[in-house]
Structures are given as C-alpha cells and as structure tokens.
Amino acid sequence: MRRWLPVVLNRRRFLGAGIIATAGATLAARETLGQSDTSQGTKNHDGDRLGSGNMSEMPGHATNHGTMMTVGDVDEVRNGFDTSKLLTDWDTGTISQLPDGRRLRTFEIDAIDKEIEIAPGVMFPAWTYNGRVPGPALRATEGERLRVIFRNYGSHPHSIHFHGIHSARMDGVPGAGVVGPGEEFIYEFDAEPFGCHLYHCHALPLKRHIHKGLYGLFIIDPDPGRHPENTDIARSRLLGTKENNQWQEFAMVMNAFDTNFDDENEVYAVNTVAHAYMKRPIPVRRDRPVRIYLANLVEFDPINSFHLHANFFNYFDHGTTLTPTQLTIDTVMQCQGQRGIIEFSFENHEPGLYMFHAHQSEFAELGWMSFFDVQEARA
C-alpha cells in the first residue's frame, strides 16, 4: 500500500506543482499537470492508436492542452474497474416473476472499504459500492418491482438512499435502512418515475459518506406502453430495443476528491480518474446519436457543469420527460445531486477529437477534461 504524500496537497498546489509517480512507485510532489510522455501512445477503446507519446503528433488542440494533463497512468487493474468500461457497464440485475405476474428485478450491492488511485500516484481511501467509484449504474424499467440486497462489509454504518418514489421504511436514512458493519438490509419498491436518477449513502455525517465514494447512477427506462403519445422516443430509451441500439449511450458521474480532508477538492473527474478520457478519448461514430446520463456528485463545491465543444445538445433535466427541458445549448450546470440526460449528434462534423469538460476552469485543469474521438461509420 502506498503512503500518503508527506506534503499538504491543496488545490492550489495541485495547479502549481502536483504529483507524479516515479519508476519505483515513489511519490514526489512535482508536476501533476504536465505533458504525458509515453512511448506507446494513446489508444481508444478498440485499441486504435490516437497518437504517439509525442504530443506534437496529435491534433493541435490536443497538443495545446497537453500541459494540463496528469503525468503517467493509473493502475486500473489494481483499482478493479476500467474507466472505459464504466461508460457502458449497465447493471441490469437478475429478473424473476412475482406471484401476481409482475416482473421483479433484483440487484445486489456491497459496501466495501477500498483504496483506489484517482490520478497517477494519488491514492484515496474510498468507501465503495461493489468495489468501484462510482457504484454500479443500475438500470431498470418503469413499473417493475425492484429488490436491492445491500450488505455492509465496510467499517462504518452505511445505507442506500434512492432518488425515486418509495415508502419511508425504504428511504435509507437513519432509522430506516442504515445498517452497521456486517449487517444486511433489503430495499424493495416500484421503479417510479422513469428518468435519470441516483443513489447514495445517507448515513451521518452525510458529506463524508458521499464524498468518500458511496454513490451511483440509477436509471429507470420508460415503459413505451405507458407513453402512447411518445412511443418511439420511449422505445429509444428502453435498453435492448432496436430503437435504443441506434444510440451510443454513456454513463457519466462528475465527482471529485478531497485528498487531505480540508473540505476542498484537489482532484476532479468524470467517473473518478482524472483526465481518463483525455488520455483515452471516447470513440463515437458520426452516424449514430449520442446520449449521456449525467449526474453531479461533487461534494464541497456547490455547482458543477458540462460543456461540449463545437456542438450543441438537448437537455432533459432529471430525465423525467420525453421532450427536452432545454433546447440547443452547449453548457449545463448541475448542483450536487442534480442529474439529467444529454442528447446530440456529430453527424455533420468531420472526424477528430472534440473536447468536453467542466466550464469551471479550475475543475478542468484538475482533471475534469475529456475528448470524444469522432470516427467515420464502419462498413
């Protein structure tokens, strides 16, 4: 296990100095935010090389932002989760049938204490759901009965509070679903309403339990039969349908980490690892639309944002409508716990790297900056 750095790391030091891991895995407070220098180059999810270790061989905008990228790579094997796979790794649970004929969808979630690497050489003592931060992206269908088996293998009392509709007994707050170490609780409720929701621990102190990593996306797809006026749109959101398969869907949780516990974040990211999707841009096809399920779980900062370069998108606040709540925008703000669905297309764009990031510049420089790698349709 790596030791914590002997220096106090606040966000100003991260911007001015930072951290790198040396060959012997010894940590030194040097330049965190510098140009990556790897001989193997950056690859996309399919293993296609996007550029050599020399940033000058990458497109100009990538080169210009290279000095804002963390040095080195995070050991995702040791972390136990791959940030590329987190984008599309939907947990659909197991399905059975209730005596009344209704569908029952069951999820199993374990609280586990685990040290994770959030930037090269920067370790964080996380509290996790199922060993990952964010926790699994749960996905169900409107109207189903949901059963969530929660086991606490951590060292503190924990719970799961779902943003949705349920009884007081299932609320996951003290006195209603908070369980001690070694204990188990079963949450059960109907999947209502459809939309882009979230879940998180609601044990006290609340800010510590959320900040340490106990949160995740909770997606309820609309049942097309309940929305005859927008059946095609509803079907496009229902996982596994022909209409849904035309979309490129991604799960993105904006998060941040206070590495020295001074109530200020030093590392920002989408899906935990700083600059993960800058070093490995997300490949998307020009001929298929993009849908992002976005949530903000950053503690200590009241507002976060998502900004898309060279394009505009439609936004569905909370995802609880089938028509956009905001049309043709390129930036959206979210407070903590706010979430929504973003839809756009690169159909009229040339292939290349298109940036997206927080429009709080400090957040971007500290890790919340990414690229889409727009590619031609495959034959």
Write out the binding residues for Cu cation: 158, 163, 200-201, 209, 359
Contacts of 205 by beta carbon, 8 Å cutoff, 6+ apart:
none
Distance CA 283, CA 302 (A): 31
CA distances from 78 to 49, 70, 73, 115 (A): 24, 19, 12, 9
For residue 305, give the nearest of 358, 226, 249, 368 by alpha carbon: 358
Place of tokens 């994770």: 116
Question: Binding site: what residues are annotated?
Answer: 158, 163, 200-201, 209, 359
> Strand pairing partners for 43?
49
HEC secondary structure over 158-214? ECCEECCCCCHHHCCECCEECECCCCEEEEEEECCCCEEEEEECCCCCHHHHHHCCC
Q: Do 212 and 257 meet the contact criterion of CB atoms below 8 Å apart?
A: no
